[in-house]
Amino acid sequence: MKRKIRIVDTTLRDGMHAVSHQFTPEIMAEIAQRLDEAGVDTIEIGQGDGIGGSSYQYGFARATDEEYIKAVSKVLKNAKLDVLLLPGIGTIEDLKVAHHYGAKVVRVATHVTEADVGEQHIKFAKSIGMEAIGFLMMSHMAEVDKIVEQAKKFASYGADAIYVTDSAGALTPNEIAARIKAVKEATGLPIGHHAHNNLGLAIGNTLAAIEAGADIVDGTCKGIGAGAGNAQLEVLIAVLTKLGYETGVDLYKIMDVADDVVVPHMVRPQVIDKNSLSIGYAGVYGSFLLHALRASERFKVDTRDILMEMGKRKTVGGQEDMIINVAYELSKQK
């Protein structure tokens, strides 16, 4: 018997990017209840950029963090309710609210070279009894030694687990495996992986992460998420079950959630098109896509050119405002 793999579903957080953050609390509760019944261990919810993310800069969600968390916490019987917090977007006050209304887990997400900005959030979460996970985003933008250095910082703050996250869907299986193995050996903590599918490698990269020692992996129903989406959860469960891993997730039930519950609420099928492929190739943050599409239409320039230029400039999450500047500059060059 192979080991147990913890499954975190982010349909109701990363998937919010694909619907312009417009899931209602009722839709979230409906999907979350079915995910819980299917046996998913942890369910992450909220505006795509985490608690505190509903804003002009990142896009307004249909409801407040409080409304989403209250609605979902009422229907969960076994799954742990999880929120994402990006320091500078979400605050400790936001985390207090999330915890008050039922969040049990917080993933503190920082750029791969900036774990120190999450220190106070990790420590505060631990002080109020939450599970606190360090979440290193855009891990393709740092070499292995640098990622290990930052992971050790999260470990020193008391993180319960550490994620090596491929926010741009830009890494290959060998690159993922090297990062996971090194962080696992350096910290001794449970290690997680969050994949994006911009190069069509989300499932392959997730398997590579598990084989390299990852204990926790993410997925979304139908792969719904930023860019070309995430590892497609029902596919991932089928593959892991076939390989003999224990996930606790019922394969038929998760298939039903994806096809019967999530699909009716999707705006469009989650596919790898020329623009989402460009995200993976250029190595830019997945949530840039909708912003780039709007700027492309406004300034009459190719979306791919915007994304490629953002990649050349090594932009990171939180620099969405630069997309307008880049699109304007490209339009003048035309």
Whether 307 and 292 have beta carbons less than 8 Å apart is answered as: yes
Going by the annotation, the residues of the binding site are 13-14, 167, 194, 196, 285
24 burial level (CB within 10 Å; 0-12, 13-18, 19+)? middle
Q: Can 100 be counted among the known catalytic residues?
A: no
Beta bridge partners of 220: 232
What backbone phi and psi angles, to 5 degrees, belong to 321? -65, -25
Going by the annotation, the residues of the binding site for substrate are 13-14, 167, 194, 285
- Look up tokens 């830009």; give the residue: 170
Structure token pair of residue 22: 């417009």
Whether 252 and 37 have beta carbons less than 8 Å apart is answered as: no
List 17, 21, 99, 291, catalytic entry: 17
Active site residues: 17
